[in-house]
Structure 1
Amino acid sequence: MSDVKSRVLTPQDWQLYKLARLNSLEDAPDSFGSTYEQEVTLSDTEWQTRLDLKWRGLDALPLIAELEGQAVGLAWGVIHEPDTKMAHIYQMWVSPALRGKGIAKSLLGEISTWAVNKGCECIKLAVTTSNEAAVGFYTSSGYLPTGPLEALRVGSALMVQPMVKRLGNTQ
């Protein structure tokens, strides 16, 4: 979709991020380790702090996809110390009305480019096994299952499959 634009979120975007994140948790409660009930109670300061990467000492790429000023997609690329050769994808979500339009592919592409430029060798994510569309999307994007299934969150019967994609970077 050529009208959809993605950009990096900044601390000043906290309200847009909050709205997108809460929408994602309401729309797809079985896709995330956190829940709407946990995050809706966060203070405005906590939402702002999440996007203050420098203060948090976090190497991350928080992306928002927008259409006509509305948040329609979200994804985070994160590199955790000390394993700086592995990037992780969190909070991947696209508005239901726009799924299948290339937004998720574009967000993954941006995170992959960022990870390569950061010297990463692979990207890891976890996908709920019952979400066949997401599993198929990640598989078709080059992600391969790795390791045993894990619980989505404590007390959940839902399982997630860790997946990894090797990047062309072998520095």
Structure 2
Amino acid sequence: MSQFNIRVLKPKDWPLYKQIRLASLQESPDAFGLTYQQALLLPDADWASLLNSTSDGALSLPLVVDMNQEMVALAWGLIPANKDVAHIYQMWVAPKARGKGIAIALLDELKAWALAKQCKSLQLSVTTTNSAAVGLYHRYGFQAASKQQALQPDSALVVQSMQLPLNHAA
């Protein structure tokens, strides 16, 4: 089993974030609301500002996974200001790193963070055609939380919002 390390991205890490985010969008174009082409048009200042975005009172936890000195996964936790729900965005593991426990480790990290921030639940959206991701989230304990909706305007792809209640007694 390969060793991997999860780390939090800092504002100075924006070039690394840009690199892995672009890789995720290119490899999994049907998994995200933002397209690779849209992301390519973002100026570097926008990429840098994403890791500095706490001005609205939201809390964020941008995570990457390093395996053998290569970034192979990404996930972003966000708690809006004055909310008790933590959201998971941009969850992605590179194909060569899948099946090694990385996605579960990221979910564990995000869950622990949300519990520490006194959140009552974790929420995410997943493309319904991504059966591996849907299965992972179900096995982890997530359940459908609302009606399915289009991933993007004019898209045939559908996303399902899912929720995991957090037990603070555990």
**Could you tell me the TM-score, scaled by structure 1's length?**
0.94
Match of 1:130 in 2: 129
- Matched ranges for 1:79-158 at <5 A: 79-82=79-82, 84-158=83-157
Unaligned runs of 5+ in 2: none
Q: 2:2–2:67: 8 Å Cα contact kept in structure 1?
A: no
Tell me the CA shift for residue 3 of structure 1.
1.9
Deviations along 1:57-89, one digit per CA (max 9) or x if unpaired, are 43110000012332100000101134x210000
Q: Is 1:45 matched up with 2:42?
A: no
Tell me the CA shift for residue 56 of structure 1.
5.5
Tell me the CA shift for residue 123 of structure 1.
0.5
Q: Is 1:167 matched up with 2:160?
A: no
The CA distance in 2 between the partners of 1:145 and 1:41, in whole Å, is 34
Tell me which amino acid in the other structure corresponds to 2:107: L
Any idea what SS the aligned residue of 1:130 has?
A: coil
Match of 2:21 in 1: 21
Deviations along 1:94-136, one digit per CA (max 9) or x if unpaired, are 0101111100100110000000000001000011001100100
The CA distance in 2 between the partners of 1:55 and 1:143, in whole Å, is 30
CA RMSD of aligned residues (A): 1.3
Any idea what SS the aligned residue of 1:109 has?
A: helix
**Closer, same or farther: CA 126–54 of 1 in aligned 2, 3 Å:** closer
The CA distance in 1 between the partners of 2:62 and 2:168, in whole Å, is 22
**Could you tell me the TM-score, scaled by structure 2's length?**
0.95
Percent of residue pairs bearing the same amino acid type:
46
Any idea what SS the aligned residue of 2:71 has?
A: strand
Length, aligned pairs only: 169
The CA distance in 2 between the partners of 1:37 and 1:128, in whole Å, is 19
**Closer, same or farther: CA 12–56 of 1 in aligned 2, 3 Å:** farther
Any idea what SS the aligned residue of 1:53 has?
A: coil
The range that moved more, 110-119 or 50-59, is: 50-59
Tell me the CA shift for residue 2 of structure 1.
5.2
Unaligned runs of 5+ in 1: none
The CA distance in 1 between the partners of 2:2 and 2:97, in whole Å, is 12
